[in-house]
Chains A and B, each alone.
Chain A
Amino acid sequence: MNITTLAFFLLSFIAVGSAIMMITSKSPVHSVLWLIVVFFSISGHYILLNAQFLAVVNIIVYAGAIMVLFLFVVMLMNLNAETEPIKNYRLQLIGVLAGGALLLVLISAIMRIDVEQVVQMKTGDAGLIKVLGMTLFKNYILPFEISSVLFLSAMIGAVIIGKKD
């Protein structure tokens, strides 16, 4: 077992474990923190897959900006474990069963796929900022510009929604 495999399984374990912790912990603050852990481990996976730029962006945007925003909102509302007092265990059980069945179905479907034709790329330069930058600003310039409009409209929308009537 080489180091890559070891790192993969370690990161996978952390990601799945933290994700489960996130949905099971009672306090919303803990959930946010566990999700941040998940994002870090996913960034680790990105690095393993030679996507260095995305790994960095993931940490900055998700773990940094977005999750801080979540944390901010949770703390603003002063949410704690008592905000979700009534539990419908039957509905939870059904939810877990449905999710598990979905996972089972999809995994078993994946196992039946013929993967002889898939190869791993030997070079790792696809994830470099230089390559991505060239692709982004050559081939995807229009979506990129449109995404700025999206941000603007999201910003305006957030302001209007959050405004006190």
Chain B
Amino acid sequence: MDIQVYIALSLTLFTIGIVGVLVRRNAIIIFMCVELMLNAVNLLLVAFSKMHAASPAVKALPTYASDAQIFVFFIMVVAAAEVSVGLAIIVMMYRNIHSVDVNFLNRLKN
């Protein structure tokens, strides 16, 4: 497949994530949309690890194919940490205002 198709796919998924963030008010759904956006980027990175610029300079790098996948790996690591903290925050918020609607978070006090 062409690289453009992969880029288009991951852009579509990313945009769906953005639209989700925009239209939903449930904090958990918004958080899931952020995860979706991260995955779209992961997909793009993996696609780039498969398809390269045809220049000799790139080929001279020893790990030119694996680097992107290592990146994905680290993104997953960060995502996992983020989810644990983020969900803790959401639970905390639910405990305080008995809702997960972000529109109730329009005050920066209390």
Do A and B come from the same complex? yes
**A42 contact from B5, B43, B79, Cβ within 8 A:** B43
Contact residues in B for A159 (Cβ distance below 8 Å): 88
A140 to B92, CA, bound (A): 35
Contact A15–B28 (Cβ < 8 Å): no
Contact A96–B13 (Cβ < 8 Å): no
Interface size class on chain B is: 35 or more
Contact B74–A31 (Cβ < 8 Å): no
The answer, yes or no, to whether A3 is at the interface (CB within 8 Å) is no
Contact B35–A35 (Cβ < 8 Å): yes
B25 (CB) vs chain A CBs: closest residue? A84
Contact A76–B32 (Cβ < 8 Å): no
Nearest CB of A to B17, in Å: 8
A116 (CB) vs chain B CBs: closest residue? B54
**A151 contact from B81, B89, B95, Cβ within 8 A:** B81
B87 (CB) vs chain A CBs: closest residue? A73
**B76 contact from A28, A62, A103, Cβ within 8 A:** A62
Contact B76–A58 (Cβ < 8 Å): yes
A32 to B29, CA, bound (A): 8
Contact residues in A for B85 (Cβ distance below 8 Å): 154, 157-158, 161
The B-contacting residues of A in range 14-58, CB under 8 angstroms, are 15-16, 19-20, 22-23, 28, 31-32, 35, 38-39, 42, 45-46, 49-51, 53-54, 57-58
A53 to B73, CA, bound (A): 10
Contact B67–A135 (Cβ < 8 Å): yes
Contact B73–A95 (Cβ < 8 Å): no
The answer, yes or no, to whether A136 is at the interface (CB within 8 Å) is yes
The answer, yes or no, to whether A10 is at the interface (CB within 8 Å) is no
The A-contacting residues of B in range 25-74, CB under 8 angstroms, are 25-26, 28-29, 31-33, 35-36, 39, 42-43, 46-47, 49-55, 63, 65-67, 69-70, 72-74
A159 (CB) vs chain B CBs: closest residue? B88
A140 to B67, CA, bound (A): 9
Contact residues in B for A162 (Cβ distance below 8 Å): 88, 91-92
Chain B interfacial positions (CB closer than 8 Å to A): 1-5, 7-9, 11-13, 15-20, 22-26, 28-29, 31-33, 35-36, 39, 42-43, 46-47, 49-55, 63, 65-67, 69-70, 72-74, 76-85, 87-92, 94-95, 99-101
- Between A and B, 8 residue pairs with Cβ closer than 8 Å are A16-B12, A38-B39, A49-B49, A57-B73, A79-B28, A126-B49, A132-B70, A158-B85
